[in-house]
Chains A and B, each alone.
Chain A
Amino acid sequence: MNQISQNEMSGMKLLFVDDEKGFVDTLIRRLERRKIDARAVYSGNDAITFLADNKGMDLVILDVKMPGMDGIETLKEIKKQFPLTEVIMLTGHATVGSAIDGMKLGAFDYLTKPCDLEQLLEKSSAAVVRKWNQEEKIQEARIQEICGRRV
């Protein structure tokens, strides 16, 4: 299930974390126009709070360089608290190294600014598919566990 249909794409829930409000707001406007559920917060701390309040977010697109809690620290916290949530690092060229460090810490992929929307959607859908697959496997394992117990 590598490809994702337009229908399924509209079912995924994305969270953008970036201190550049102008950038992230316009991007969300464009995604909403494509029927994608995308939200934005402007700091790492807000992202953790938002994820705690809104269960079921599929993917976090996380800027590496942010004042306060930076992208790497936020990633660590997300992976700790919401291990199934996929993360894509968003970075300027100067911090590609940090984005790669992020992948070592469990990020799915990284994107460089300014990013192409098609590329963003492609990587996002791939990440979301992986998340859904994992959830499916967990679900099946639970069902088997329950069935096994009944038998």
Chain B
Amino acid sequence: MDNTLEDRKNFYHILARKMRILILAVSLIPLMLTAGILSYRFHLVYVEKVRAHASELVQKHTQNIDAFLFEKLGNIRYLARGYKDFGPDRSRAFLTENLAALKDEYGDVFTDLGLVDENGVQFAYAGPFRLENADYSDAKWFVASREKPDYISDVFAGLRGHPHFIIAVKTGPGRSDPILRATINFAAFNSLVGNIRLGRTGLAFIVNREGELQTHARDGISETILRDMAGSARTDAQGRSFYADTRDSDGTSYLYVSSTFNHIDWRMVFFQALGDALADQRRAQVLTLVFFSLGCIAILSVALILPRKIVNLIESADRKNQAMNKQVVESGKLASIGELAAGIAHEINNPVAIMVEEAGWMGDLLEDEDPDPGNIREEFRRSINQIGIQGQRCKDITHKLLSFARKTEVPVADLQVNEAIEEIVALTAQMAKYSNVSMETDLGPDLPYIRISPAELQQIILNLVNNAIDAMGKAGGTIRIETRAGTPEGVVIVFSDNGPGIPEGNLGRIFDPFFTTKSVGKGTGLGLSICYGIIRKMGGSIEVQSRMGQGTRFEIMLPVHLDECLPPEELTVKQENINESNKPKRDERDEIIVCG
């Protein structure tokens, strides 16, 4: 019994575990997949959005700066075209007048204006510094501007030591024509780039073709770092702008966007640490992760508690079901035995009635004075003999009953099916006789022993006999019981009658509990259901075939090896009887018994 309890506990434990795994699988896997896919898609979309935004920003500022440079270059070109060889004084006045006009128009963008002759000497100058006659013959911008009609220099410290850049335009097509030079205020120019700010780390700057910085860094960012970044920036940009994810020496990833100018060989460069660019996304991810974790904890709690509760309910329902099954089997047993008892009582009543009459007859004889004492003695002898015969008849009936009843006390035994069939046939013979039913048996030889509860085997056969007798009614008929060895090893019992048969609509329901076609009070509807339950419990099978007006045939297969099929409560009994299981098979001859 301990093993059985352990088995059942294991069963419920495994059931709970399976439910737990199932709950986790159907809840967590979709949740994880959904969360993962959504998070990944969101990341892709967000990165795309950040890149697009940065790219748009850089392009817009590139265009602004391009427009700024183009406009300032246009201003100087216009002045250059208006310059004639005025001589030094008029030239100075020309410059001063135009510088004032430019300052009026643009504020402090233009610092000064100067005219430089073919030798690099500034022969006229207007501006805040004393740069008249300054020699630019070695200046890079001067050398470059001699070859082109106009030129915009890189940012450089120059003679004054302040960062600035030069716009130089030739005043005529000849090589000796002076060059009009304007200095652009670096601070004004730098503010165009310095305004580009994104997040904590987003910064923009301009580099020349050699990768040298042309603008200042934002506050707090050293130029060394900017130079490092500019150095690491790609120089193979061909389009208007492009972006890439780069990684610095610390392993920090950066979003990098670059754009080229139309009027000068510079590039606008924008950097932002990816972590900073994706900060909002990170915050959303953290929030999602918190809710995801809470969801997981809730699912885990449900997976831990719910299966245990459900299994407890199932366990309790199983226990009730088992108790109810026992009651159903018990009441079914009582019903079939009750039917048998009614027949037996009638059978005993007849000899008892004879004995009572014989006793009455003897009493009658004693009351009267018979003139022939010899005759009286003869009658007494006959009556006593009759009483003896009828007493013996009663004894035979009670013995059969006792043998039947005794078998109900044994839980499991190795049985010969034939013996049980013969007993039931003998017990029900009288009942069959009154119903005009004849019973035939054809019991096969060499049947293996079946390990079964004798009471349950009796119940199966008795139920089928009772049903057949009831079904055939007053018309009577024949019940035939055959046995033979079955494959796989077991015993096949074929139980057939030539009664009215079972309607096709009822065939599928005859094993259902409480299904009966008998009138109210005559049948419980449990007989066949109990037979089915017992046979299935033994690992056997029962099949039914029926044809209206021709009869019904039940074929029952009972296997020999019932180790896996025995009900848990009988496992221990089976273990005790294990030594008896190798009993030799008993030889039996074919026999046909006809009752009726």
Residues of A at under 8 Å CB distance from B? 20, 22-23, 26-27, 29-30, 33, 65-68, 70, 73, 92-95, 113-115, 117
Contact = CB atoms under 8 A, between A and B. Distances in A.
Interface stretch (B299-307, B346-354, B397-405, B417-425): B346-354
A41 to B, nearest CB: 17
12 contacts: A20-B354, A22-B390, A23-B350, A23-B357, A26-B358, A30-B360, A33-B364, A93-B346, A94-B346, A95-B346, A114-B353, A114-B357
Nearest to A115: B353
A30 B354 contact: no
A30 B343 contact: no
Interface of B: 342-343, 345-346, 349-350, 352-358, 360-361, 364, 368, 383, 386, 389-390, 433-434, 436, 474, 596
Nearest to A118: B360
A92 B386 contact: no
B364 to A, nearest CB: 6
B364 A30 contact: yes
Nearest to B433: A67
A92 B474 contact: no
A94 B357 contact: no
A70 B434 contact: yes
B378 to A, nearest CB: 13
Contact of A65 (B355, B358, B434): B434
A118 to B, nearest CB: 10
Nearest to B521: A97
B353 A23 contact: yes
**Centre residue among A23, A27, A30 by max chain B CB count within 10 A:** A23
A94 B345 CA distance: 7
Contacts of B368: 33
Nearest to A27: B357
A115 B353 CA distance: 7
Given A20-B353, A113-B350, 6 more contacts: A23-B357, A27-B357, A30-B360, A113-B352, A114-B355, A114-B357
Contacts of A70: 434, 474
Given A29-B361, A92-B346, A22 B434 contact: no
Nearest to A68: B436
A67 B350 CA distance: 14
Contacts of A73: 474
A68 B434 CA distance: 7
Contacts of B383: 26
Contacts of A22: 354, 386, 389-390
A75 B383 CA distance: 31
B433 A114 contact: no
A67 B434 contact: yes
B580 to A, nearest CB: 39
Contacts, number: 62
A20 to B, nearest CB: 5
B349 A26 contact: no
A113 B386 CA distance: 17
Contacts of A20: 350, 353-354
A111 to B, nearest CB: 10
A92 B361 contact: no
Contacts of B390: 22
B313 to A, nearest CB: 46
Contacts of A66: 434
A105 to B, nearest CB: 15
A150 B357 CA distance: 55
Contacts of A23: 350, 353-354, 357
A33 B343 CA distance: 33
A117 B350 contact: no
A33 B436 CA distance: 36
B359 to A, nearest CB: 9
Contacts of B474: 70, 73
**Centre residue among B356, B358, B433, B474 by max chain A CB count within 10 A:** B356
Nearest to B339: A94
A69 to B, nearest CB: 9
A114 B349 contact: yes
A75 to B, nearest CB: 13
A29 B349 CA distance: 20
Contacts of B345: 92-94
A30 B343 CA distance: 28
Nearest to B355: A114
A43 B368 CA distance: 33
A113 B353 contact: yes
A67 to B, nearest CB: 5
A115 B352 CA distance: 10
A20 B474 CA distance: 20
**Centre residue among A33, A67, A68, A73 by max chain B CB count within 10 A:** A67
Contact of A94 (B342, B361, B386): B342
B306 to A, nearest CB: 56
B169 to A, nearest CB: 135
A67 B429 CA distance: 12
Contacts of A114: 349, 352-353, 355-357
B390 to A, nearest CB: 7
Contacts of B343: 94
A100 to B, nearest CB: 14
Contacts of B342: 94
A46 B355 CA distance: 25
Contacts of B356: 114
Given A20-B350, A114-B356, A117-B360, A26 B433 contact: no
Contacts of A113: 349-350, 352-353
Given A92-B345, A93-B345, A26 B357 contact: yes
A91 B358 CA distance: 18
Given A66-B434, A67-B434, A93 B349 contact: yes
Contacts of B349: 92-94, 113-114
Contacts of B354: 20, 22-23, 26
Contacts of B389: 22
A68 B352 CA distance: 23
A113 B350 CA distance: 7
Contact of A67 (B352, B360, B436): B436
Nearest to B341: A94
A65 B432 CA distance: 11
A22 B392 CA distance: 14
**Centre residue among B346, B353, B368, B434 by max chain A CB count within 10 A:** B353
B350 to A, nearest CB: 5
